[in-house]
Structure 1
Amino acid sequence: MTTKSVCSDPQHLRGIGMSHRRLENGLTSSPAVMFGEALRFARERAGYTQDELGKLLHCHRTVITRFEGGKRPMDRDTVERADEVLAMGGLLVRLWERVDWNADIEHPDWFQKYVELEEEAATTRVLQYMRVNGLLQCEEYAYEIFRLGEARNNAQWLAERVTARLSRQDRYLTDDGPTLVVLLHESAIRSVVGGPGVMKRQMEHLISAGERSNVLIQVAPFAAPVRKLPTTSMILLEMPDGKEWVYSESLYRGHFSDAPSVVQASHRDFDLVRGAVLSENDSRALITDAMEEYRYAERRAERGVLAEEQLQRGQRGRVHRGGPRVPRPRPRA
């Protein structure tokens, strides 16, 4: 193998922790960012561009960018290959072994890390309870979801969040998009968000999305014969290189794992649910029925409001007759 000329002594990285970080990203307490800076320094010392290193490691340039930014963990095989290509004498591997990647992923900006993985995923599998997943939310539904939060009266905040959520759908709801398989528990369809009008629009959006060749939506009805349903929603992300991630959420935190045992268990849970869901056609029929029910409820609500307005309008010119009659003197003839 031919490599560009570089000092083979790993001690040449001794000063990287302070000087390079200060110039590039400022101070950080993140081990993942520190490792990324080490990788960047080694690449630049070797004279490779991100694109050139990506080709040597069999990945895209954008993946190298995320590695160097500490935004995506490298697997061991890739680290060992990078260490060899960059002639680091095992230093990158030793640094990599000392990073608690799972702890770093649960940083407060955890959702941004999920979005970055989602942007690369070749296949996304979703099991969702109570709420329609963000990749399938219509604008009105997304707005109402965010409006439930603490900043519900901040119009600019709401608009930014809704725009960001809808932008994530672009690569999936397009021709030749990545595969998206969504198992919606019936609770996500029956839990009303924003009223019947919003839910009717959301059902229409689900039907439209399900017509795409790369999108499969199936419903797990309340009576689904699953022996034991998973206790929480989850997402399985399969990357172009075959690596898989499991993502789930608890209160105020996202959880990632690429541990083979966790991925295998999550696949098992997903498959158990999928074995009990309605067929694609029956799922579409259930969603259509729900849409019509919400349409009927919306019309009833509109008629109720109209009747109330008509009643109030009719009462405006009325003279109140409920009080006692006061005698008035009459003129004499």
Structure 2
Amino acid sequence: MRLWGRIDWYPEVQHPDWFERRAEMDAKAVALREYQEQVMPGLLQTPDYAHALFSRRITNAEKVEERVRARLSRQQRFLAAKGPLYVAVLDESCLRNVVGSLAVMRDQCAHLLRVGQYASIRVQVAPADRAELRRPKASMALITLPGGDEWLYSESLDRGHFHDDPAAFARHSQTYDVLRADALSAPESAALIGDFMEGYGDHGQAPAEHSDMDQEQLQPRRRRQLHRNSPRYPRRRPCP
């Protein structure tokens, strides 16, 4: 097992030029806090989800495979035993937006449930029906490097933006921490993700394993009637 953890299963991968710096930070970060909207964060994507996402805008099959391999290579140390702290707050749109197919989305939800049980990973959801939540204006990552260096990372179209200004980092860090505190807890988020996974259908595959706590959270929710037309994700009711 020790040897397995030392092997580079994705040698000589090629990231886009503008993303190389972020990939280098991921390779040595001691903590990563991330907020993501619209699509799943790259560190949590399944191979099929990543393939479907890249295929939307890249027509060359070999280029798509190259990008998928590069994305998966970044995940290794975060998914390893005793990996760095990784906290992901997902806007509910990440779960609702279908990428690839219903089967791809179901597998993606199952993957979130699996990795969310790792000691160093927490996955939380910011539900769509809570208008009072203060959400960042865009997806972002708060990266802590060895030695205490802190970087704020965000993206625009085909461009990455890095900021190490302490005031900017502190401001966005506070926004993130408040959002995380007000979002669903990790067990509540697992229950909601399980709802979406069930709504996307089993497609002949075995359901993901849940902890006893997850099962207790999931059972009341699964009694709700799901919509029959269109992808069967749960329609959340507004809080009283």
- TM interval, shorter chain, is 0.7 to 0.9
1:184 corresponds to 2:81: no
- Cα deviations across residues 38-66 of structure 1 (Å, max 9, x unaligned)? xxxxxxxxxxxxxxxxxxxxxxxxxxxxx
- Write the distance in 2 (CA, Å) between the matches of 1:270 and 1:263: 10
Q: 1:279 to 1:120 in 2, by over 3 A?
A: same
* Contact 2:18 2:158 (C-alpha < 8 Å) held by counterparts: no
* Contact 2:77 2:84 (C-alpha < 8 Å) held by counterparts: yes
Q: 1:227 to 1:294 in 2, by over 3 A?
A: closer
Q: Give the structure 2 partner of residue 111 of structure 1.
A: 19
Q: Give the structure 1 partner of residue 124 of structure 2.
A: 218
- Write the distance in 2 (CA, Å) between the matches of 1:207 and 1:219: 12
TM-score, scaled to structure 2: 0.76
- What do you get for the CA RMSD once the two structures are aligned? 1.4
Q: Give the structure 2 partner of residue 138 of structure 1.
A: 46
**Amino acid in the other structure paired with 2:63:** W
TM superposition outliers: structure 1 runs of 4+ over 3 Å: 225-228
* Contact 2:133 2:182 (C-alpha < 8 Å) held by counterparts: no
* Contact 1:226 1:276 (C-alpha < 8 Å) held by counterparts: no
* Contact 1:224 1:276 (C-alpha < 8 Å) held by counterparts: no
**Amino acid in the other structure paired with 1:143:** H
Q: Give the structure 1 partner of residue 108 of structure 2.
A: 202
- Cα deviations across residues 252-287 of structure 1 (Å, max 9, x unaligned)? 211000001110111011012112111111100000
How many residues end up aligned between the 2 structures?
189
SS in structure 2 at match of 1:248: strand
**Amino acid in the other structure paired with 1:275:** A
Which is bigger in relative contact order (C-alpha 8 A, separation at least 6)? 2
The partner residue of 2:71 within 158, 165, 169 is: 165
- Cα deviations across residues 204-240 of structure 1 (Å, max 9, x unaligned)? 1111111110000000000235353211000000011
Deviation at residue 145 of structure 1 after TM alignment: 0.6
The partner residue of 2:161 within 245, 250, 255 is: 255
- Cα deviations across residues 171-222 of structure 1 (Å, max 9, x unaligned)? 0001000000000010101111011011001001111111110000000000
* Contact 1:126 1:182 (C-alpha < 8 Å) held by counterparts: yes
Structure 1's unaligned 5+ residue stretches are 1-107, 300-333
- Cα deviations across residues 137-169 of structure 1 (Å, max 9, x unaligned)? 0010000010011x22x2211111111101110
**Amino acid in the other structure paired with 1:293:** G
1:282 corresponds to 2:188: yes
1:229 corresponds to 2:135: yes
- Cα deviations across residues 102-160 of structure 1 (Å, max 9, x unaligned)? xxxxxx822101111111100000000010000000010000010011x22x2211111
SS in structure 1 at match of 2:200: helix
TM-score, scaled to structure 1: 0.55
* Contact 2:89 2:126 (C-alpha < 8 Å) held by counterparts: yes
* Contact 1:124 1:179 (C-alpha < 8 Å) held by counterparts: yes
Q: Give the structure with higher Rg (CA).
A: 1
After superposition, residues 1-333 of structure 1 pair within 5 angstroms as 109-149=17-57, 151-152=58-59, 154-295=60-201, 298=203
Q: Between the two proteins, what is the percent identity of the paired residues?
A: 42
**Amino acid in the other structure paired with 2:33:** R
Q: Give the structure 1 partner of residue 5 of structure 2.
A: none
Structure 1 or 2: more strand by fraction: 2
- Stretch deviating more after TM superposition (234-243 or 269-278): 269-278
